[in-house]
Structure 1
Amino acid sequence: MSPSSDNPSFVLQELNKVSFEDRPIPKIEDAHDVIVEVKFTGICGSDVHYWSHGRIGSFILKSPMVLGHESAGIIHSVGSAVKDLKEGDTVAMEPGIPCRHCTHCKSGRYNLCPEMAFAATPPFDGTLARYYRLPSDFCFKLPEGMSMEEGALVEPSAVAVHVSRQAGVSVGSSVIVFGAGPVGLLCCAVSKAFGATKIVSVDINEERLNFAHEYAATHIFRSKKESAEDSAKRLVEECGLGSGADVVIDATGAEICIQTGIWALRTGGTYCQAGMGVPDIQFPITAMCTKELNVKGSFRYGSGDYQLAVNLISNGKVKVKELISKKVAFEDAEEAFQDVKAGKGIKILIEGPAESM
């Protein structure tokens, strides 16, 4: 890439092949648009999945695509109708633009919009570039004292907010969270902020579990090779959950975790699926029915979730700086992706392109 590049971008060309390109600088197309100069972008598991597999479900990479969707930056320019943002404001960037007209959008569940244009989901380009265009109402001004590094972690925090809302976590809840990756850890933190009094983090990685215990979980539980029913019984007993947990959140997508979660719930409890795994699994449907469980899915984030995530981070109820394992320069983006794929660290941030690029 030449030093005169205007909009350096990190592009997934095809399966396992990335490159740096100079893409056209986006222009304001609507009076409510803003152009953001991207300063920090977190690497998400979905970005790595597209890089290493070329698809997630029905979303298939068919042409080159800019990666990245967990970003924060500085407002570079604004459309004529933008009133609440100005040049120089620092913002967290919500990376999905719905149609605003369908039934889901009008009911406030715009995350289910069938026409959603979501960053770094084929065929839409992501935010790992110098400049990115968004509608102004999908940019959330960062409160004074909140860094842009924290702003980049608003996106996964909003995922955790949505999951916790779907699961009905409230004051006094007992919650089990399967998976101590970024989303699982943030679900623990958000559950704590929502008033849960017992939060159990479940994983097979001892280091991650220890971090979870220091971070937000009141209890930790290490999975073993045993049946889901036996694991659930041991989990409930060891963590003092009585007749079972009020809420189970699975952030792994692993069949054994899903099964264990269903068995570990109390009668009338709520199960929420946050992680994606293989398309089909064996599911303990009899246990679900006889315990009359509430079973829900969770997809991205909806109305109010992003702003609540900003608020929780800015007031210190959800701490995200502890999740940042390291920050790397834009030109080292591929190495950072390799580290995430290898399971190194918790959250790696890529800095926006330097002015000299």
Structure 2
Amino acid sequence: MVDNNLTLVLHGKGDLRLEEKPVLEPAYGEVQLQMRQVGICGSDVHFWVEGEIGGYHLDSPVALGHEGSAVVSKLGPGVTTLKVGDRVAVEPATPCRMCAFCKGGRYNLCPLVKGLAMPGCDGHLTRTFVMAADFCHKVPDNVSDGEAAMAEPMAVSVQATNRGGVKMGDSILICGAGPIGLLCMLTCKARGVDSVCITDIDDRRLNFARELGADHAINVRGKTPQGIATEVEDLLGDKPNVTLECSGAPPSLTTAVYATRSGGVVVLVGMGATTKELPTAEASFRELDIRGTFRYANCFQPALKLMSSGQVNVKPLMTHQFRLEEALQAFEIAKKGEGIKILISCDKETQARD
């Protein structure tokens, strides 16, 4: 039984506090959740350090965290798809369900979507949480609470590979060997691609990518985009037909354009500067498709199935574990770039058993 609702709240740039919040009751169509494991995303850290991200500016205190697993603790009126005790992965955004985007299946583009851990919408780093039942996905028995928390970034990788049209036999370039880049690599491998080349400026992450199955890994520090493109082509035997740009760094985006095969696809996965320079003539003359990707739509179930089936093993990425009471320390570790995925255990009963 939860006797308090300890919550990690961002009050302003660099001002992160643990404090008590009210325990909310579920309304119609909602469930009350006892949060289990929550991953720290790079966007959480950026929001904390900078006070803004991707055009969102912090104008009032907000609880952070949007990569969560939980157990259903109470049902609101009208909920029939879940029961108390169900383990779930929480899809952290609620669209209006009525607009043309929602009805067309692209609910991630809903203009009225309420995204967790963004201004005005609290996130998962809390003891208890209330969420729309239809955005709580049942977790297979062989998927742990930590792995279920990884369903959110896994869904990002599923959406990105969907947007890129990644298929069996493709050659792939992934720019950035952070958590999303690594998950995109694993998802591409599960789709039967021929080979994957991954780039980064950190040898530790590149070595880790090799251990996870990257066919080629390139440290791009100090290299030109054209030079990197040539190196990628030499390693793969041809230019990749799909590039997933997962770093958000402007030079990496330029590299993606020069490196991708004519008629190929560049997917903008990483969130970096609002405005970026782009070699548009190069992209135009070679008919490259440059596609955005935003969150995910109908990707949580595929992500959970990839983990449950063993096609994607996310366990090696789960490098650090903290209790909710240690959340400030966890964020400091994340800011230093240590490890890959840092998880925070929010449930007191689970902590006591551990």
TM-score w.r.t. structure 1 length? 0.95
Amino acid at match of 1:144: D
Residues 137-174 of structure 1, C-alpha deviations (whole Å, 9 max, x = no match) = 11111111111110000000000000000011001010
Matched residues in 2 for 1:25 and 1:224: separation?
A: 48
Q: Which runs of 5+ in 1 are unaligned?
A: none
Give 1:251-262 correspondences, 5 Å limit. Answer: 251-262=246-257
Question: What are the equivalent positions in structure 2 for 1:275-314 lying under 5 Å apart?
Answer: 275-302=270-297, 304-314=298-308
Query: Once the two structures are superposed, what CA deviation does each residue of 1:11-61 show, in whole Å capped at 9, x if it has no partner?
Result: 11111112122111111111x211110010000011111111111132111
2:336 counterpart (323, 335, 342): 342
Q: Quick one: distance in 1 between partners of 2:74 and 2:138?
A: 14
Distance 1:215 1:91 in 2: 27
CA–CA separation in structure 2 for the residues paired with 1:241 and 1:69: 39
Equivalent residue letter for 1:292: E
Could you tell me which residue of structure 1 aligns to residue 262 of structure 2? 267
CA distance in 1, matches of 2:279, 2:18: 47
User: SS of 2:70's equivalent?
Assistant: strand
8 A Cα contact 1:5 1:22, kept in partner: no
In the TM superposition, what are the counterparts of 1:9-88 in structure 2 within 5 Å? 9-30=7-28, 32-88=29-85
Offset, 1:337: 0.4
Contact 2:54 2:273 in 1 (8 A): no
Q: Who is 2:127 aligned against?
A: 130
Q: Do the aligned partners of 1:8 and 1:353 also contact (CA within 8 Å) in 2? A: no
Q: Which structure 2 residues correspond to residues 81-96 of structure 1 after superposition, within 5 A?
A: 81-96=78-93
Number of equivalenced pairs: 350
- Tell me if 1:7 matches 2:19: no
**Separation in 2, partners of 1:153, 1:275:** 17
**Match for 1:225 among 208, 222, 246?**
222
Distance 1:117 1:240 in 2: 41
Question: Please, which of 235, 240, 255 is the counterpart of residue 236 of structure 2?
Answer: 240
- Quote the residue 2:97 is aligned against: 100
| Worse overlay, 211-220 or 335-344 | 211-220
Separation in 1 of the partners of 2:76 and 2:54?
36
**In 1, Cα distance between equivalents of 2:347 and 2:70:** 12
1:156 partnered with 2:150: no
CA distance in 1, matches of 2:146, 2:314: 9
CA deviation vs aligned residue, 1:306-327 (integer Å, no higher than 9, x gap): 1110110111111111101111
Contact 1:98-1:110 within 8 A present in 2 as well: yes
Counterpart amino acid of residue 302 in structure 2: L
Kindly indicate whether the alpha-carbon contact (under 8 Å) linking 2:37 and 2:68 is maintained by their aligned counterparts in 1. Answer: yes
The aligned residue for residue 197 of structure 1 is: 194
Asked if 1 retains the 8 angstrom alpha-carbon contact of 2:27 and 2:77, the reply is no
Query: Gaps (5+ residues) in structure 2?
Result: none
Rounded Cα–Cα distance in structure 2 between residues aligned with 1:353 and 1:140: 19
TM-fit CA distance, 1:353: 4.2
The answer on whether the counterparts of 1:67 and 1:127 sit within 8 Å (CA) in structure 2 is: yes
Question: Does residue 113 of the first structure (1) align with residue 110 of the second (2)?
Answer: yes
Once residues 37 and 200 of structure 2 are traced to their aligned partners in structure 1, the CA distance between those partners, rounded to angstroms, is 29
Amino acid aligned to 1:267: S
Identity over aligned pairs, percent: 38
2:310 matched residue in structure 1: 316
Contact 1:174 1:241 in 2 (8 A): no
Partner of 1:13: helix, strand, or coil?
strand
Per the TM alignment, residue 220 of structure 1 is displaced from its structure 2 partner at its CA by 1.1
- State the one-letter code of the partner of 1:172: G
CA distance in 1, matches of 2:70, 2:221: 43
Q: Which residue in 1 is equivalent to 2:179?
A: 182
Alpha-carbon distance in structure 2 between the residues aligned to 1:145 and 1:231: 41
The answer (yes or no) to whether the contact 2:54–2:272 under 8 Å persists in 1 is no
Aligned mates of 1:275, 1:22 — CA distance in 2:
33
